Amino acid sequence: MLEHTARIVERSPRIMINPLVDDFDAEVRAFRAKRDGALSAKDGWLSTIGLVILEEGHNELSFGTVTVTGDTVRVVASDGARLTRSGEPIRERKLKPDQDEDVLQEGRVSHQLIRRGDTLAIRTRDPGSALRQSFRGSEWFPANPLFRVSARAVPLEHPRTRELTYSVAAKESVVVDYLLAFNWGGVMYSLEPIVEPKRLFVQFRDLTNGDATSEIGRYLYAPLPQQGRTVLDFNQALNPGCAYSPHVMWPVPPKRNMLYVHIDAGEKAPHRGP
């Protein structure tokens, strides 16, 4: 069992702050529709059918040889493989990670070089995958404005570096400058965010994981703090990509982001079967 690391940082009378937009229900409907659109897109998680971790040197793949020399990655198509890039046939080419213009097409199937930390991999997608074809929409808890809370950014006395571990192979280091503290049921909890250029990436686990929600945990995005505060909307909590496909490299929530409460909000575990 994970240790209790989503710490109680203070106790106070219950004050539930719920910043709302003019039409909460309309916002929820729009968010869920956008989510389903992203999942079912040709390049969404449901189309991900393969992942090959690359080693230094030659890597023999179904479509050719991918050679890694330090930070340089070069692909040479195998005889009979019909690879294209931006509609143009290619035989040999250097690849840059996570670049849409460097996606290689092989019929309807695509191959893309990705980097997570120091790990390089080739991700393969097929818009005709069984997962994508059988997708009938995601399942959600009932929308509840009480699960939208105001959070305070609490600076750490000394910023620290922690290791971010992925569901497959990769690791990388991230710097943590502050925690997000919020009041729930009269108790103050805190979560450790990852600060992106334009938003916060907040991973968490709670008591619904492995039952109503995905085993690995969930995540949500939040605005960058303004005047020391932001909003955590657990109605927008989502399953990680690896909950849909085992071929997705996804960061695992840190142990300290375990919430020992039931967060009955946001996206439920993916439906399996017909």
Same-domain pairing of 80 and 152 = no
Within a domain: 63: yes
Tell me the two tokens of residue 94.
């250097």
Q: H or E stretch including 218?
A: strand 218-222
Query: For 16, how many CA atoms within 13 A lie in the half-sphere containing its CB?
Result: 11
Indicate if 28 and 160 belong to the same structural domain: yes
3 belongs to a structural domain: no
Q: How far apart are CA 126 and CA 110, in angstroms?
A: 7
Total structural domains within the chain: 2
Q: How far apart are CA 82 and CA 24, in angstroms?
A: 49
The one-letter amino acid at 196: E
Judgement on whether residues 240 and 146 belong to the same structural domain of the protein = yes
Q: What does the pLDDT read at residue 272? A: 56
Last residue of some domain: 134, 164, 196?
134
Domain match, 123 and 142 both: no
Residue 171 shares a structural domain with residue 221: yes
Does any domain span residue 9?
Answer: no
Neighbours of 236 (CB within 10 A): 23
Domain that holds residue 101: 46-134
For 91, phi and psi rounded to 5 degrees?
A: -115, -40
Three-state DSSP class for residue 226: strand
**Number of Cβ within a 10 Å radius of residue 188:** 16
3-state helix, strand, coil in the chain (%, to 5): 15, 40, 45
165 shares a domain with 35: yes
Q: Which residues pair with 226 in a beta bridge?
A: 229
CB 215 within 8 A of CB 208: no
- Burial pattern 124-144, b for ≥16 Cβ within 10 A else e, equals bbbbebebbeebeebebbebe
Residue 85 to residue 91: CA distance in whole angstroms:
10
* Residue 162 belongs to a domain: yes
159 shares its domain with 182 = yes
Question: What is the value of pTM for the model shown?
Answer: 0.87
Q: In terms of domains, do 211 and 144 share one?
A: yes
Q: How far apart are CA 241 and CA 51, in angstroms?
A: 13
**Residue 207 resides in a domain:** yes
Q: In a 10 Å sphere around its CB, with 0-12 CB exposed, 13-18 middle and 19+ buried, how is residue 232 labelled? A: buried
pLDDT of residue 13: 29
Residues 122, 150, single domain; the answer is: no
Q: Kindly report the backbone phi and psi dihedral angles of residue 241, in degrees, each rounded to the nearest multiple of 5, phi listed first.
A: -60, -35
The answer to whether position 16 is within a domain reads no
Determine whether 265 is exposed, middle or buried from the number of CB atoms within 10 Å of its CB (0-12, 13-18, 19+). Answer: buried
Give the integer Cα–Cα distance in Å for 193 and 190: 10
Contact 211, 265 (CB under 8 A): no
In this prediction, the residues of the chain whose per-residue pLDDT falls under 50 are 1-21, 273-274
Question: Is residue 165 domain-shared with residue 213, that is, in the same domain?
Answer: yes
Do residues 166 and 129 both lie within one domain? no
**Closest to 181 measured CA to CA, from 1, 2, 17:** 17
Q: Is residue 18 part of a domain?
A: no
Let me know whether 152 and 201 are in one domain: yes
pLDDT value, residue 169:
85
